[in-house]
Amino acid sequence: MPKIKHIAISTQDPDVTAKFYTEVFGMKEIAKLNSPNASGYFLSDGDINMAILKFKNDQVAGAEYTKNYSGLHHIGFQVESLEEIAEKLAAAHTEKRDDINRALGVGMTNRHANVEVKYAAPDGVILDVSETGWVGTSPMVRD
């Protein structure tokens, strides 16, 4: 069964946002990020990875958000099979976010930690699906 293992918040001040979640909720800093696409932090409570991101370009943030957006950005599900979930998402008329996948250099053939493929949920929320999971998360229990 797929499990929510990742939540990403887009913010214009990752330092203040990360400090809030670490001080108020006791989240632990797992890593600091500074890539060509985003800067920020990865936090964890031991079960879920929370990314606090300041996007550096609109292509990676997604056209509907842009790099200036602040708020919940995407949700990540760890799955047992990318191929199986791709079939279910297609049957639900959900499309890959090829614009973002291309900007990040990810997709079904480029598997690596933290994001493998992005899709659009019917409500417009961006979804990450991953077999490998996210740093700082608990192991996925296989059925």
What local confidence, expressed as pLDDT, does residue 19 receive? 95
- Average pLDDT value for residue range 77-86: 89
- Average pLDDT value for residue range 19-46: 94
What local confidence, expressed as pLDDT, does residue 114 receive? 57
Residue 112, number of CB atoms within 10 A of its CB: 10
Question: Structural domains in the chain?
Answer: 3-130 (3.10.180.10)
What local confidence, expressed as pLDDT, does residue 103 receive? 87
- Write out pLDDT tens, residues 88-128: 988 988 888 989 888 888 875 555 555 678 898 877 788 88
More confident residue, 86 or 140: 86
**Do residues 4 and 77 make contact, with C-beta atoms less than 8 angstroms apart?**
yes
What local confidence, expressed as pLDDT, does residue 142 receive? 67
Using the predicted structure, report yes or no on whether residue 25 has a pLDDT greater than 90.
Answer: no
Per-residue confidence band for 143, with pLDDT thresholds at 50, 70 and 90: low
What local confidence, expressed as pLDDT, does residue 66 receive? 92
What local confidence, expressed as pLDDT, does residue 11 receive? 94
**Do residues 42 and 49 make contact, with C-beta atoms less than 8 angstroms apart?**
yes
Return the structure tokens found at 74.
């995407």
**Do residues 6 and 51 make contact, with C-beta atoms less than 8 angstroms apart?**
yes
Distance CA 59, CA 103 (A): 6
Distance CA 102, CA 105 (A): 5
Q: Collapsing DSSP states into helix, strand and coil, what is residue 27?
A: coil
**Does the reported pTM lie above 0.85?**
no
